[in-house]
Amino acid sequence: MTTRKQKKERPKGELRRNSLRRLPHRQRTIPALLKLQAEAYGEKPLLQEGSSLRTYKEIPRAVGRMAAALNDLGVEQGDRVAVLSRNRPEVLELSLACAWMGAIFVPLNTALRGFQLTHQLRNSGSKMLAMESALLDRLDSVEDTLPELRRLVLLDGVSDAKFGEVAGVPLEVPESTVEPAPVKPADLCAILYTSGTTGPPKGVCCSHAQSFWWGIHASEHLGIGSEDVLYTCLPLFHTNALNAFMQALCTGATYVLGERFSASSFWEEARRADATITYLLGAMVHILWNKEPSPADRAHRVRVALAPPAPADLLEPFAERFGVLLVDAFGMTELNYVIGATPTEQRPGRMGREVEGFEVRVVNEDDEEVPDGESGELVVRHSEPDSVAAGYWRNAEATVEAWRNLWFHTGDRVVRGQDGYFTYVDRIKDSIRRRGENISSYEVEQPINSHPDVLESAVVAVPSELSEDEVKASVVLKPGAKLDPLEIIKWCEPRMAYFAVPRYVEFLSELPHTPNGKVQKHVLRKRGVEGAFDRESVGYKVRR
């Protein structure tokens, strides 16, 4: 067993250490970093989206103006500002403006509906909701009992919208600016909702210093420098795209924001961005690989793609075909970039090694460390102040449970090899990951159980052809009830995000239970999908 004293030193290799590591802790805030890098990089482009461009010098003023707009709307330090929008530069500027003035940015998944959206708005206690008018229909299924919501702001100038008693107003950004508030590294800059396991999603409390360290660790492992252009089309309501901006800011690189992922145009968009670094998910890697080869495959400057979980069998073929090195790693919204390796140190099927600033262990159910080569739960703790999340918003019980024994428990089963590289095995937690989205089985089961003909249900992950998971629902009907499986799927559509709607539905006479009444989901997973209804087999497409 590898003990702490015997811990293998990570070879320096080609890791490019960022000089900002030397910043005093009190300067590891987003406003301080924006001002510092504006002086260092001046007229160099920082943020680009389409024809819209902001330089390092312009960003602090633009963010100060956005903060002034928030002030005019009644937002104060500590208030939560929810945003429901597709990728656009105003969303990123809103996130930075919240950090600038000491408010808290709450990005919401644009696919949310019903219970999910109501819960996140209510739990965050957001005072303001900023959104695109094209997404206003999402509010049709939201309960209007949101006592803390005071403002509905439309990012695209529409002013006749209304939610309950709250009238919509257009976003108006003044010419005047405000100076940054005296925020501290430990202060929250964002609440990011991540999947629950036995309950609703939890709001992860993300600090300024955590964002700083995301930028440092990820950029060092990807080998990012000031000459690089980072292109992402991943959504700004996830930590991946937000932290890619921090990687650019910490290195003097340029960040190019795409609207959304399109397999047919991805490489052309990367070429237009002049990108050298990009960001993918495991499923996106498969989708790009399955496209017919074309001249566009190599007509770009991209050299590295951060793509967890990177498919082991495609690492070398992908590099040969596209000229892009895939990088696997392990990070969590609650943590940081905690396991990784440089692009040339990648080993197929392995996530990498422990990152400096974090201590990583593999433990059994009693939190005892297991020998290398044995599987167990991945637990993590940090050495740099405030480099991981501060807990779960308004959920002390879940915070204590996750950080028990002073280690964060990831719920993931892994194996550490003698060489220090970690291999992912499976999830211990009862959550599902589909196309880059975390799904709580609870979120899917609750709407299904609300169907008048359903007695109970259980939702589990089953393997997908594109890596990650598909969603399977096992449903027990009430005595005498009869349903077509497609009716379950149609019932789910208006009540949850499109990506959470089950692909597979099976009807059972009863669910397998333990003696104390818990559903034995491992039994349902072992059943697989044989005999289950597959909506894709009949060509049914879930609406977005």
92: in domain: yes
283: in domain: no
Instruction: Give the total number of structural domains in the chain.
Output: 2
Could you tell me the pTM of the whole model? 0.84
Whole domain around residue 146: which residue ranges?
30-46+54-174
3: in domain: no
Last residue of a domain, one of 146, 174, 202: 174
pLDDT score at 282: 84
Cβ(425)–Cβ(411) below 8 Å: no
Contacts of 96 (CB under 8 A, 6+ apart): 30, 34, 59, 63, 66
266: in domain: no
Helices (H) and strands (E) in the chain, counts: 13, 28
349: in domain: no
d(CA 279, CA 329): 12
d(CA 245, CA 293): 31
187: in domain: no
CATH classification of the domain holding 90: 3.40.50.980
Strand partners, 256: 48, 231
Q: What is the mean pLDDT of each run of 10 residues along the chain (544 residues)?
A: 40 75 97 98 97 96 98 97 97 98 97 90 97 93 87 89 90 96 98 76 96 98 97 96 98 97 96 98 90 96 95 93 97 97 94 97 95 94 97 96 96 92 80 78 86 92 84 94 95 92 95 70 88 93 87
pLDDT score at 203: 97
pLDDT score at 190: 98
DSSP H or E segment with residue 62: helix 58-72
pLDDT score at 516: 53
CATH classification of the domain holding 498: 3.30.300.30
Strand partners, 362: 378
Look at strands 202-207 and 188-194 and give their pairing.
antiparallel
Last residue of a domain, one of 127, 145, 174: 174
Closest CA to 266 of 232, 309, 314, 312: 232
C-alpha count within 13 angstroms, C-beta hemisphere, residue 246 = 31
Last residue of a domain, one of 174, 207, 240: 174
510: in domain: yes
pLDDT score at 196: 56
| 181, 334, 468, 374 alpha-carbon torsion, rounded to 10° | 150
- The Cα-based distances of 361 to 329, 357, 411, 421, 423 in angstroms read 16, 14, 13, 12, 13
121: in domain: yes
Cβ(330)–Cβ(339) below 8 Å: yes
